[in-house]
Amino acid sequence: MFAALKHIVLLLGGFVVLAPFAVMLSYSLKSPAEIERGTGGFFGAQAPMVDEMCVARSQPDRAALDAARAASPDLTDDAILSRLDTDRREACSMRPVVFNYTKAFTEAPLMRYLLNGLIVTLSIFVIQVVVALPAAYALAKLRFWGRDAAFALVLFCLLIPVNAVALPLYLGLAKLGLTNSYAALVIPWTISAFGIFLMRQFFMGVPDDLVDAARMDGMGEFAIVWRVMLPTAIPALIAFAIFSITAHWNDYFWPRIVITGDRDLFTPPLGLREFQAGADGSLYGPMMATATIIVIPLIAAFLLAQRKFIEGIALSGMK
Amino acid sequence: MTRSGHGGTALLLGAPALALMMAILILPILAAVILSFTDYSLGASDIRWVGFENYAKIFGNSTYEKMLIATGTYVAVVVPASIGLGLGAALLIQSVTRGAAFYKSVYFLPVMATLLAMTIVWQMMLHPTIGVVNRSLLAVCGVLPDGACPAEMPLWLGDRNYAIWVTCFIGVWQGFGFNMVLYLAGLSGVSRELYGAAEIDGARSAWERFRLVTWPALRPTTVFVLITTSVRAFQTFDTVEVLFSPGGGPSKSVYLMMFAIYEKGIVQNLVGIGAAITVLFLMSVMALTVLQRRIAERKAY
């Protein structure tokens, strides 16, 4: 009885949490009329619909007209025209789900946006690791003058959300003429105090003997960072990757600021936002298809590797 | 440790991180502080020192007063709500025998999803006439006796009495799953023996056990969750930009600080004001974080 109540509460919560996902997916399958009237159930009737823009684009030219006349000389011009018109509408008719998902890619350069998202997200992650790992190693395993001060600086930087200093960063990039470039999308995120902190905490647990043995073998400090420390830090690295990649694939604030107008540099969220801004009601379906395409990679990754994700998040909380 | 002097190596290894921390985090703070005392705008040839004028504007002008109220309301609602729901969900999920993994993944989905995209979906759902929310409410009202429902359905985003709460709701919807995961990790660390001991000491009811054992044991988790949730709440931008751009909602009721920095400092190129808001923003976030950490350290045992 009590257990049943718990499940009811959890299911109700789940219903609210999932509602927007269901609406997004459902709208991405339906025709404009079904969305507007709220009919068609979850999947829509999938009755073929005519893409008016496709019809308008494929007006027959004189050559096509002449060819049609030659093919059926017994018909009047009007009859030929109306038959061509029917053919065209037929060629331009498709199921709503096909319409929505093709439109998502043709109405805007979505493929380009996705590629940009991938480039930016991966560049940020790789640079963050390249910068943070050696610093974390130095803080955890080397003795030097000013180490405590350096670590205090990291802790202080942990308090500063990069978004909070967006305005001066933007001004700086603008002065350097870097706005509207990949560099502008990546540079502000190259340093992650969180990454340094997480790795440093992790390295503190790695036995000194391991480092000393590597030094005995004649390894240099750089080699130790990448060939000895890096492999031990894989769990922390995965946790950090989850944070970093999720944050930057989904980020909208920063691209909004530094990319103005140049569609070739849009990241997925920015592309979706522009889509929405320009959409009249008839493009709700394609817009939701775009949203689905953008949301799905991370959701899929999460569902496939749930344990890793949840452990990663929990790991960061423990430190 | 074998050697004690690694100064040179450490400097070499740490130099990129150090330089970037300075250039990307520390210097911009200094720049923001300085710019907040000027009337600078991007592209202008001259720059004038205006003293505290920008700050006076923020505390004297009703627009910025609304910004402070909106931000305060948002943080004050979203932080406790998403912590409470995160903890509640974690406790429930931990106590059920079946379906725990399922609920866990469902509640975590919004954390992974692109907030911008989901905000656009919420916007469509909350559309006054063709949105799913009002359609469902109407359907429910159809079977209720007359007078049980108001004559008109809420406008939601267009109504100043609803706009900020709807925005808070989306914030909670998106963030509580993250807290749930952290609390689940925290709960798995609470030792079973403590509960047995508490029971012997007379803690019979579930509430007593929670109050005497679970809640104190979760203290470190709570502090961490409190800090991350507050900092995130302060930074809310995507929802406001999608739902209430330009302007910040009906009578500026959802004019959150992050959005104000963007609109004033970048879109309208009023850098001085934008910088002053930036400074206030930084001070709030840092003060809050330090305060919460202090509390955690003082009461830790």
Nearest CA-CA distance, residue B147 and chain A, Å: 25
pLDDT score at B288: 85
Residue B261 CB-density burial (10 A; 0-12 exposed, 13-18 middle, 19+ buried): buried
Q: Which of B120, B172, B187, B222 to mutate to test the interface with A (most CBs of A within 10 A)?
A: B120
φ and ψ at residue B49, rounded to 5 degrees: -80, 125
| d(C-alpha A130, C-alpha A145), whole Å | 23
Q: Is residue A32 within 8 Å of residue A285, measured between CB atoms?
A: yes
* B298 pLDDT more than 60: yes
Angle at the Cα of B122 (from B118 to B125), degrees rounded to 5?
A: 140
What pTM was computed for the model?
0.87
| d(C-alpha A168, C-alpha B36), whole Å | 11
- Measure the N-to-C terminal CA separation of chain B; round to a whole number of Å: 31
Q: Would you state the structure tokens that stand for residue A180, as one six-digit string?
A: 């509207």
A-chain CB neighbours of B31 within 8 Å are 168, 171-172
Query: pLDDT per residue over B231-245, tens digit each?
Result: 899 999 999 999 998
Cα–Cα nearest to B276, from B50, B76, B47 = B50
Q: Cβ–Cβ of B132/A269 closer than 8 Å? A: no
Instruction: Name the average pLDDT for chain B.
Output: 85
Nearest CA-CA distance, residue B210 and chain A, Å: 17
- CB-based contact, B93 to chain A, within 8 Å: yes
Helix axes B62-95, B163-188, angle to 10 degrees: 40
Q: Which of A113, A120, A159 to mutate to test the interface with B (most CBs of B within 10 A)?
A: A159
Query: pLDDT per residue over B91-147, tens digit each?
Result: 999 888 888 889 988 999 999 999 999 999 999 899 888 888 878 887 887 777 777
Q: How confident is the model at residue B5 (pLDDT cuts 50, 70, 90)?
A: low
| Domains of chain A by residue range | 2-96, 110-318
* B167 pLDDT more than 50: yes
Q: Cβ–Cβ of B121/A291 closer than 8 Å? A: yes
Nearest CA-CA distance, residue A182 and chain B, Å: 16
Average pLDDT over residues B3-13: 72
Nearest CA-CA distance, residue B108 and chain A, Å: 9
| d(C-alpha A198, C-alpha A192), whole Å | 10
Report the chain A residue with the minimal C-alpha distance to residue B270.
A167
Out of A17, A172, A318, whose CB is closest to B185? A318
pLDDT score at B2: 41
For the domain made up of A110-318, the CATH class stated in words is mainly alpha
Residues of chain A with pLDDT under 70: 1, 277-282, 316-319
Query: pLDDT per residue over B56-94, tens digit each?
Result: 888 888 888 889 999 999 999 999 999 999 999 999 998
Average pLDDT over residues B12-36: 88
- Please give the interface size between A and B, counted as residue pairs whose CB atoms are below 8 Å apart: 270
Average pLDDT over residues B189-202: 77
Query: pLDDT per residue over B174-185, tens digit each?
Result: 999 999 988 988
Q: Which domains does chain B have, with CATH numbers?
A: 48-142+150-299 (1.10.3720.10)
List all residues 6 or more positions away from A174 whose beta carbon is below 8 Å from its beta carbon. B42
φ and ψ at residue B246, rounded to 5 degrees: -85, 165
Q: Which residue has the tokens 């998040």?
A: A313
Q: Which of A167, A198, A208 to mutate to test the interface with B (most CBs of B within 10 A)?
A: A167
Q: How confident is the model at residue B301 (pLDDT cuts 50, 70, 90)?
A: very low
Q: Cβ–Cβ of B24/A27 closer than 8 Å? A: no
B190 conformational bin, left if phi > 0, alpha if psi -120 to 50, beta if neither: beta
Q: Is residue B272 within 8 Å of residue B36, measured between CB atoms?
A: yes
